[in-house]
Structure formats: structure tokens, C-alpha cells
Amino acid sequence: MDGELKVFSGNANPELSKAICDYLGIPIGELHLSTFSDGEIYCQIMENVRGKDVFIIQPTCPPVNHNLMELLVMLDAFSRASAGRITAVIPYYGYARQDRKDKPRVPISAKLVADLLSAAGANRILALDLHAPQIQGFFDIPVDHLFSTPVAIDYIKKKGLSPLVLVSPDAGGVERARAFAKRLNVSLAIADKRRVGANQAEVLHIIGEVEGKNAFIIDDMIDTAGTMVKTAKALLENGAKAVYAYGTHPVFSGPALDRLESSEIVEVVVTNSIPLSEKARASDKIVQLSVAPLLGEAIRRIHRGDSVSSLFV
């Protein structure tokens, strides 16, 4: 891309945006975002972006609908300001769990959001640990899908938890957990889970050998933490020595923090794709890793036209 690199931030996670810009050695672009008294979002770009290579950082985390709408309004503003290329950097992609029709007469909301982003003016998407990788196919524009695996693996290695087994909390996450296990050269176990309702899951049994081992549960997000806590309980009942957990996106909705605090999980590792609440920051169990260097390097490579996939080799 010939245009100058410009990075702008929405209000969803300004701390992550600042850390990314610090990594890149550039200032955050000047942008005015405000909300009218009736809830409507107003956006004005405070500098010239004509022909520039623009990256807008905005996870669509809670409040999901407000942050999504804020991103759409920003995309429209940059499109109308004649930016050369607009990349939406979405560290957490909301509505990703609604990626298929699993019941009659329900929407595929992940596809709807993809269409909205394209219609608003996004030329490219940079996402981190999508709930379902096939969401990339919902877009008719290029999607760079990053994985937090390198960040998490470095941390797990430093813990020195031998003997170690990595655990997928459900069948859908096996590929993710297997990638971790392969890089760490350790065994893999799977929790056989049956979902009994929205945000309600029951772990039936553990597939794999966990007795006498330190178990590390690997997931892409922690929402209400029901699945994670029940998986940890099942692991301990099957003889695991201790249970740790990793989730890229700390959604932490409803009773999540209380459940994690009262559980027997030793440590819950997350990234800063979503900002933590004050309660989560104060927890001795929560450890937050930064994905700013990972996202910053991806932004640099996309701007220069270099390989992004080589980040994971």
C-alpha cells in the first residue's frame, strides 16, 4: 500500500489501541466520537486521511451493539473521507457464535455482521481467534485471521507445568487445543459436553488420560464460565493434579467472575482483546497477556504487503 499508515481507535478498547500504536511507533489518529442524548453515535475524523492506509481498532465486545454500531459509523466516515484502504481490526468479533442455523427460523448473525461491515466501507478485516474459522468465508473482502497461540504458548512454557495435558472443553474446540498440544508436544484430552440451553452446559465425561497431570483448558472465549468451571470439576474428579485455564477473549458476562473465583481453577489466563473490568483486574486468579505486539506486527505486515501467515511458522 502506497498510502501513509494511520491507526485509529474506537471507544471499545483504547488501552489496546495505544499499546499497538506504541509498538508501531506512531501516534493514534485524531478522531472525535460522542453519543447524543438519545444514544445515537457521532463521529468526526480530525485529520486528513485521503489516500491513507487506515486501520480502525474496535473489538465488538460488551456493550456489543453499541461498539458494533460505533465501528460501522467510523467505517462510513473513513469511506466518505476517501481513505485509500480501510482495515477493520476486530480483536473480538461479536455475534460469532451465531454462525449457522442450528434450529428452525433463527438468523445467521455472524454473516449479517460481516455484510454490515462490508457495506459500511471496510476493505479488509483483521480478526483474532474467531469462534469459528469458517466465518472468514462470510466476507467477500480479504480476512486476515490471527491466532493468539504464540502468546499463550510462551506463557504456558514459562509455567513449567510438567506433566501437562491440554484440554478442549468441547468437541468444537478440539482443533484449537490440538494446535496448542502439538506446539508444546504434550497430550490432549476432550470434555464431552452436552448443552442443555443457552449459556448452560453439562460436562458428561473426559476423553483422554488426565490422572496425575496438570490440565490446561484451552478455549477461545470465556463468557459465563459455566463450561470452564464444569470441565475443571470433571478433570479433578478424573484425577488431574491441578487445573489451569486459557481463554483468548475475557467476555466475563453474568456470574462468570464469581464462578471462576469459587472454582478450583488455579489460574485463568486471558488476553487484552477485551478490556477487563475493575473486579477482574483485582482478581488474583486472572492473568492478562498482551496481544498488542501480535496485532501491531500484523498491521505493519499488511501495510507493507508482507506475509502475515509467517507470524505462526
Q: Rounded CA gap, 85 and 52, in Å? A: 7
Q: Rounded CA gap, 247 and 264, in Å? A: 16
CA 27 to chain centre: 24
Cell 459509523 maps to which residue? 73
| Cα-only R_g, the chain | 20
Residue 225 has φ and ψ, to the nearest 5°, of 70, 10
**What SS3 class is residue 228?**
helix
* Strand pairing report for 265-271 and 286-289: parallel
Contact (CB, 8 A) for 148 and 248: yes
Angle, CA 44 vertex, CA 40 and CA 50 arms, to 5°: 140
b/e map of 246-273 (b: 16 or more CB within 10 Å)? bbbbbbbeeebbebbeebebebbbbbbb
Indicate which residues carry an active-site annotation. Answer: 193
